[in-house]
Structure 1
């Protein structure tokens, strides 16, 4: 059975605004992690981040909508437009034929900080009416569906870093119930003092002063991750519906998906990778794919030694029996961890990798840890034919998700 097709991609990321801009930056091997601009983040021990520098909100969002919403929603609105344009998709006459299922982790941080500061300094009357909707984690889903007139079953997925993949899982459920098109993915904007302080208390951020030392998944020098902002939104369509409207582009097929939960602790990772490995196996079974048929794995790549060790344990458990090790890369090392937006961006990156037959490397991976049997850690970009790619993601609190992408017959079309 053919799965949902990805017919449009919209990217707003530290590596660029637009799918081709993002991809060109990765192919050139240009990390987008730099000193934080806009405020003094060093006071929180967080000197570096992956910021979206080339994003002009007014180019994508109307002034009336901008005053009601936060930066993360501006990015979602922009990415949704870019995805629809990429797909050549216009709102159908049936307003219930399109759904919006986006992921969110932290909501409208910058907007909320501004309103909280007003509350403390001037009192309740200084807080605007839009605070009640701009911070809300479902704001981006709601604003995209309202602006574009999409009234199909919609919702928000809150599973932190796994959210981008989990939104695709929800899209499959919605499509099985009769909605032919779904916008999925998500963005985040967690780079303001309030949001950075919240993340710093988790103890998983790198304090490195230089980008080349900061976010190093699977490297012996790893000491945490770097915050990033942005993400990606993708348009998924039921194959028959895409053909009926004359869709001219297909990036790839969602062949399989699965999610598990460690059910261990809301902050500490489980002592083993049993549930993570189980999610990968279930997604492969869902796709009808064996471990030997996987051409590439895009890892979660936490950059925290203990979490990296657990991820490699899961990968070894699934792919350890392969004759030829599976390449494993962590492209998030170029952008920072984008929370809910990160796994959505990895899906976009995986589709681009399949299109061009290029495996992006892992930034600054110069002293890799020992990988288990069946796993080949990618330190630099390489050329490789890719027909089946697995994208992995984990969310704080024990969420594990795995997505299997398949190149469409004949390759991506445009």
Structure 2
């Protein structure tokens, strides 16, 4: 028998500045699944980057990735969903289950139109599509799965999450590559302020199949390094590209009064400020968007630069982009004025999942009052020499954090988080 749905606690009236708080986190990352396993590995500096195992990478110039290992989808999602889902959707569904459990939230007991799903995605189901293309060309169209019609699509994670949990409120998907996880969180806060009390957000991505790998390599920015400890070195003199990865985080966002009324298991903190922008076209002479976006996010949160306890950097791993980010941080905060970290050096760049994972990591940092490390970087270069780059886990009082993300094509976003009042 289905559980009886009850009316969720009333959220603030639409149009008010309702407070959007985070009550649950679900992580699927190359160095750990579940928030506690991931967090322990991250604080210890344990990397999940290694040689690709899901296909033979020997014929490609780049052979390292951050793979989510040891994940058994059959242990986390119903068997009926297995033939219709890509690997990254299975990760998203599992992470959603973990986030809901962490929040102490039972969707069956909440009002279905009071729950929204807003995720970010950059690739869709590349691995699923690769398999179906193989069937098409080797065996013919009759052997292509009917599920291909949606399993490849960017919005598939939002759709599968909403269907599985009966979430029928206003939903959507953001497609802005690495910036997507922050854009989704910003959209989730808009839904909260418009009167939806409960939003599932975040991003889980990945395209670690030969077809997806060719797409990664086409941009010419992926590291060709063979040593997992030296291939992805943002802000370092040895920076020569980034390492792709898969996974991300799902985040439960609620209106604060409604979360407290239902007895949320905990409140990690608040989504206090958000802004986004697009970099100008090259050779226009116009400045990059990042400094402006950071200032707008701080203003949106009602904070000054000196209020921020840590910056989670985008950390592109490319000298020109790293220099631009370091210069932007220094411009806004001053030289060595704020700790800067990039724990994604342990997992790679996860496309839309990357900034969602950084957001979850920032909330864990606020919870435990510790900044996770940037591993492998040994020789900060150029403008990065003016950063207080955190190279080992650092215990420090924290009340707020800034998360930065930049995506291919100029997407730029900043998210301000702070502890609950």
User: Taking structure 2 as the reference length, what is the TM-score of the superposition?
Assistant: 0.93
Q: Per-residue deviation at 1:271?
A: 6.5
**SS in structure 2 at match of 1:203:** coil
- Cα distance per residue 1:147-191 (max 9 Å; x no partner): 100000000000000000000111111112210110110101211
Contact 2:47–2:345 (CA under 8 A) maintained in structure 1: yes
* 1:316 aligned partner: 330
User: Taking structure 1 as the reference length, what is the TM-score of the superposition?
Assistant: 0.95
Cα distance in 2 for residues equivalent to 1:180 and 1:263: 36
Q: Does 1:391 align with 2:398?
A: no
- Cα distance per residue 1:133-159 (max 9 Å; x no partner): 100110110000001000000000000
Number of equivalences? 404
* 1:337 aligned partner: 349
Contact 2:271–2:417 (CA under 8 A) maintained in structure 1: yes
Q: Per-residue deviation at 1:248?
A: 2.9
**SS in structure 1 at match of 2:380:** coil
Q: Does 1:225 align with 2:242?
A: yes
Q: Per-residue deviation at 1:274?
A: 3.2
Cα distance in 2 for residues equivalent to 1:317 and 1:301: 17
Contact 2:54–2:208 (CA under 8 A) maintained in structure 1: no
Contact 2:323–2:384 (CA under 8 A) maintained in structure 1: no
Q: Do the aligned partners of residues 367 and 131 (structure 1) sit closer, same or farther apart at CA in structure 2, a change above 3 Å counting? A: same
Q: Per-residue deviation at 1:42?
A: 2.9
Q: Does 1:346 align with 2:358?
A: yes
Instruction: Give the one of 278, 281, 288 matched to 1:274.
Output: 288
Cα distance in 2 for residues equivalent to 1:317 and 1:65: 49
Cα distance in 1 for residues equivalent to 2:46 and 2:291: 31
* 1:412 aligned partner: none
Instruction: Give the one of 92, 98, 104 matched to 1:76.
Output: 92
Mapping of residues 191-202 of structure 1, within 5 Å: 191-202=208-219
**SS in structure 1 at match of 2:272:** strand
Q: Which runs of 5+ in 2 are unaligned?
A: 1-16
Cα distance in 1 for residues equivalent to 2:285 and 2:94: 40
* 2:204 aligned partner: 187
* 1:291 aligned partner: 305
Cα distance in 2 for residues equivalent to 1:172 and 1:362: 29
Cα distance in 2 for residues equivalent to 1:173 and 1:151: 17
Cα distance in 1 for residues equivalent to 2:37 and 2:390: 22
Q: Do the aligned partners of residues 372 and 342 (structure 1) sit closer, same or farther apart at CA in structure 2, a change above 3 Å counting? A: closer
Contact 2:102–2:265 (CA under 8 A) maintained in structure 1: no
Cα distance in 2 for residues equivalent to 1:233 and 1:357: 22
Q: Per-residue deviation at 1:128?
A: 1.4
**SS in structure 2 at match of 1:389:** strand
Contact 1:270–1:398 (CA under 8 A) maintained in structure 2: no
User: What CA RMSD, in Å, does the superposition of the two structures yield over aligned residues?
Assistant: 1.6
Q: Per-residue deviation at 1:372?
A: 6.1
Instruction: Give the one of 4, 21, 40 matched to 2:37.
Output: 21
Contact 1:326–1:374 (CA under 8 A) maintained in structure 2: no
Instruction: Give the one of 249, 259, 262 matched to 1:242.
Output: 259
Cα distance in 2 for residues equivalent to 1:262 and 1:394: 9
